[in-house]
Amino acid sequence: MPTQMSDLIVMVVKQAGDVRIHTCVSSFSDGNIANATHIVESRNRLVLIDGQFLAPCAKAFRAYADSLRKPIDRLYLSHRHPDHWFGLGAAFRDVPVHALAETLTFIQEHGEESRRDHWKLGGLISEHVVVPKEVASPGQETIDGVRYVLDRVTETETDFHLTVGLPDLGVYFAQDLLYSGTHLYLTSHLGHWIQVLQALLVSEYELFLPGHGLPADKNEVARNIEYLSAARQAIGDGLTGAAFKDFLLRRYPERKCPGIFDIYLPRLFGGASEY
Ligand SMILES: [Zn+2]
């Protein structure tokens, strides 16, 4: 169970000309999963990536954004998993949220059901569901002088995932395509996920911002590929449930946030609902 943890790790990870990239990461301990959300600060505006999970973390992320004293132009929501959008209702109800059409539809149709499904977290989750209103489509847009490249990635950690690249800065917001220093949330799409990460390894991007954990480089992208390959092999060898978890815990003792196993194992091996 996550515990109340409103202290975020806050860092400036890159500064280039007028642009600063900020990262805010929630707790790595007590069942939390180190949710990472980000801010692109340009001359006049802020663009945010994802909205945190627990309400106290979302409020702390918002307070940090407000401390920069620039208007929030928009928030890009990467995908439909609750740990990325539950926080929107707690702290970002006034902010334009942009998401893939599939993500928007999912939250519209299942958001409230998903929120109620997390009743055990009590006051740690928001009472409000924010349905994104703006559709983010693959392509380029320039916001406050910064070039953004949006992409729609299918069948990896989730069915539809939005990524945001800043090619002129070498920065790529991979969100849940990449778990930095933590155990990955595994799905049935490991083969395609590996291919997507391999393409990133030969891209011109240098700084990779994950959805969980600390800012990363290509070495961590390669380590994620290795983890996915080992997991795929283990599944091929017939490991399931507790034995599968034990295998990954032993093989990757350095990775944090084992709480993720309890979230995905019933879905990967037990046919539990996707949310
Ligand atoms: Zn996530």
Cα-to-centroid distance, 53 and ligand 1 (Å): 9
Run of H or E including 207:
strand 207-213
Cα-to-centroid distance, 67 and ligand 1 (Å): 25
Report DSSP state, residue 119. Answer: G
Residue 140 lies in a domain: yes
Taking the C-alpha atoms of residue 98 and residue 76, their distance in angstroms, rounded to an integer, is 5
Identity of the residue numbered 84: H
pLDDT tens-digit series, residues 147-179: 999 999 999 999 999 999 999 999 999 999 999
Taking the C-alpha atoms of residue 275 and residue 273, their distance in angstroms, rounded to an integer, is 5
% of the chain exceeding 90 in pLDDT: 93
Query: Range of 224's domain?
Result: 9-269
Run of H or E including 9:
strand 9-16
The domain total for the chain is: 1
**Greater pLDDT, 187 or 29:** 187
Cα-to-centroid distance, 42 and ligand 1 (Å): 26
Cα-to-centroid distance, 202 and ligand 1 (Å): 24
Place 222 in a pLDDT band, splitting at 50, 70 and 90.
very high
Taking the C-alpha atoms of residue 191 and residue 175, their distance in angstroms, rounded to an integer, is 18
Residue 135 lies in a domain: yes
Residue 118 lies in a domain: yes
pLDDT the model gives residue 101: 98
Place 273 in a pLDDT band, splitting at 50, 70 and 90.
low
Residue 3 lies in a domain: no
Cα-to-centroid distance, 177 and ligand 1 (Å): 9
pLDDT tens-digit series, residues 96-134: 999 999 999 999 999 999 999 999 999 999 999 999 999
Q: What is the mean pLDDT of the chain?
A: 95
Predicted structure pTM score: 0.95
Residue 59 lies in a domain: yes
Cα-to-centroid distance, 204 and ligand 1 (Å): 25
Residue 275 lies in a domain: no
Cα-to-centroid distance, 176 and ligand 1 (Å): 5
Cα-to-centroid distance, 178 and ligand 1 (Å): 9
Residue 2 lies in a domain: no
Cα-to-centroid distance, 238 and ligand 1 (Å): 26
pLDDT tens-digit series, residues 98-108: 999 999 999 99
Cα-to-centroid distance, 83 and ligand 1 (Å): 5
Cα-to-centroid distance, 167 and ligand 1 (Å): 24
Phi, psi dihedrals of residue 47, rounded to the nearest 5°:
-120, 125
Kindly report the CATH number assigned to the domain that includes residue 199: 3.60.15.10
Cα-to-centroid distance, 232 and ligand 1 (Å): 20
